[in-house]
Amino acid sequence: MGANAASRPRAPWWFAVGIVLIAAILAPYYLVTDISDQIDISIIFVLALLALSMSFLWGYAGILSFGQTAFFGLGGYAYTVLALNLHETTFSFFAAIALTMLFAAVLGYFMIYGRISDIYLSVITLVVTLIFEKAIKSTSGDQYVIGSVRLNGQNGIPTVPSLRIPWSGTELSFDGVFILDAVLLILVYAGLRLLLTTTFGRVLVGIRENTRRIELLGYDSRRYKLGAFVISGGIAALAGVLYGVWNNFVAPEMFGLKRAAEVIVWVIVGGKSTLVGPIVGTAIVQYLQNKLGTQSVGEWLPLILGFVLILVVLLFRNGLLPGLVGGIGWAWRQVRRVA
């Protein structure tokens, strides 16, 4: 390592992000031209956003929140109710996210400013999402109407409006949705990476490493934690809105335990120490689920999911992919030493 090599910077990471961004915009026209493929891949982008929201909070701020599914569902429902009432999608899109962030702020205020410990926070957010599911499921009667929209209990709302392009008013096509989901995922990823280089991001990581030391340095850790909680709530809400738009359907299952468990599985498969990991993890797990055909394994899915979760926790502390990569690296070094 000469001084020369050290002073010459590597290609910056956002260079790679730019290339991926262009590739994603061109993909539906050249690479993924089949509509069913476009639909399958779009949903991976959406779910990866959800995984990203959890891994940002868990991996960088050290808060494991199960509430991500609460914000996911809330975002989806808020968008649906707003868009159906207002007959308009752009404002509803942003308003749904803003409303969910507001809710995250209130919930987060009570938990974080109450200084309850991180593990209690995990349990309470889990309780919150379960109760949301239960509450929405109980709204099947005619009297549960917001504006002109019936909430429909466990049947969900099957008439979620597709996004329209502002001003022109045309509905987004499948390739339009694909591009939107891909671009938003990449932008959120880049945004989070940038955020982590700011003072705010550094203080967050500091809190994860040693809360007391950060507080002795004069930072109010609660403000930063709450900020991270609200940001990640917003990302989860974004994923929820895009999910509703993707299949024109929202249902109480968005809040459910199975969804929450899947998010955790994606994150621990990909590893939470990087932001790319969870995206890769989501893609792999979703791809496998599609390949296995959820029809035939549907009944066995919780069993398999549970078993994988136990095994990964016991065997790979830092996540499945990082564990495997580390293992392969270790084996490779052994081979090189012998050779």
Q: Per CB under 8 A, does 304 bind another protein?
A: yes
320 binds another protein, rule: CB under 8 A: no
Of 74-82, 199-207, 309-317, 329-337, the window that binds another protein (rule: CB under 8 A) is: 309-317
181 closest CA partner among 41, 57, 296:
41
From the list 30-38, 162-170, 196-204, 261-269, the region that binds another protein by CB under 8 A is 261-269
Told to check if 230 binds another protein by CB under 8 A, we report: no
**Binding of another protein by 111 (CB under 8 A):** yes
Q: How far is the CB of 215 from another protein (least distance, A)?
A: 16
Binding residue (CB under 8 A) for another protein from 119, 216, 335, 339: 119
Residue 6 touches another protein, criterion: CB under 8 A: no
Of 43 and 268, nearer to another protein (C-beta) is: 268
Work out whether 301 is an interface residue with another protein (CB under 8 A). yes
Q: Considering only 35-43, 103-111, 217-225, 324-332, which stretch makes contact with another protein by CB under 8 A?
A: 103-111
- Cβ closer to another protein: 88 or 118? 118
3 state SS for the chain: CCHHHHHCCCCCHHHHHHHHHHHHHHHHHHCCCCHHHHHHHHHHHHHHHHHHHHHHHHHHHCCCCCCHHHHHHHHHHHHHHHHHHHCCCHHHHHHHHHHHHHHHHHHHHHHHCCCCCHHHHHHHHHHHHHHHHHHHHCCCCCCCEECCEECCHHHCECCCCCCECCCCCCECCHHHHHHHHHHHHHHHHHHHHHHHHCHHHHHHHHHHHCHHHHHHCCCCHHHHHHHHHHHHHHHHHHHHHHHHHHHCCECHHHHCHHHHHHHHHHHHHHCCCCCHHHHHHHHHHHHHHHHHCHHHHHHHHHHHHHHHHHHHHHHCCCCHHHHHHHHHHHHHHHHHHHC
Q: Which stretch binds another protein (CB under 8 A): 78-86, 129-137, 217-225, 327-335?
A: 129-137
Find the part of the chain contacting another protein (CB under 8 A) among 28-36, 236-244, 313-321, 323-331. 313-321
Given the complex with another protein, which of 59 and 161 has the nearer CB atom? 59
Please report, as residue ranges, which positions from 38 to 67 form the binding site for another protein (by CB under 8 A).
Answer: 64
Q: Is residue 268 at the binding interface for another protein, with CB under 8 A as the rule?
A: yes
Could you list the residues that contact another protein (CB under 8 A)? 64, 107, 110-111, 113-116, 119-120, 122-124, 126-128, 130-131, 134-135, 138, 257-258, 261, 264, 268, 299-311, 313-314, 317
